[in-house]
Amino acid sequence: MDGEIACACLLLAAQADGSVIETAATAPENVRAAFIRHGAIQCGFCTPGMVVAASDLLRRVPSPSEDDVREGLSGNLCRCTGYQKIVAAVRDAGDGL
């Protein structure tokens, strides 16, 4: 929201009134394509959150290390994955492989 990562589940809609909202659907194409290419797909909560967090990370760190990616996505907790494909997708999108 307005260029900052926000927990959508903790915001009232009124708090976003007049703000610029980015979502997985508006994330850069190369990020979305990398997630698909690497099969980095989780549930309908995890995947959008990770795509948005990855986009934010890549704006700040264009060529992230594995540790950078894991730190950048640390606000997205999924008990269903080891994050391997997700880390690979983010690094690929950032040309960090």
Q: Which is nearer to ligand FES, 16 or 48 (CB)?
A: 48
Q: What does the alpha-carbon distance between residue 5 and residue 70 come to, in Å, rounded to a whole number? A: 16
CB of 76 to ligand FES, least distance (A): 9
Residue 68 tokens read as: 């950078």
Of 15-23, 52-60, 77-85, 88-96: span binding ligand FES (CB under 6 A) = 77-85
Please name the amino acid found at residue 51: V
Residues binding ligand FES: number (CB under 6 A): 7
* Alpha-carbon torsion angle 79, 59, 29, 20, nearest 10: 90
Q: What does the alpha-carbon distance between residue 15 and residue 82 come to, in Å, rounded to a whole number? A: 34
Task: Tally helices (H) and strands (E) across the chain.
Answer: 4, 0
CB of 62 to ligand FES, least distance (A): 27
Residues 26-55 that bind ligand FES (CB under 6 A): 42-43, 45-46
Q: Which is nearer to ligand FES, 47 or 55 (CB)?
A: 47
Q: Which residues bind ligand FES (CB under 6 A)?
A: 42-43, 45-46, 78-80
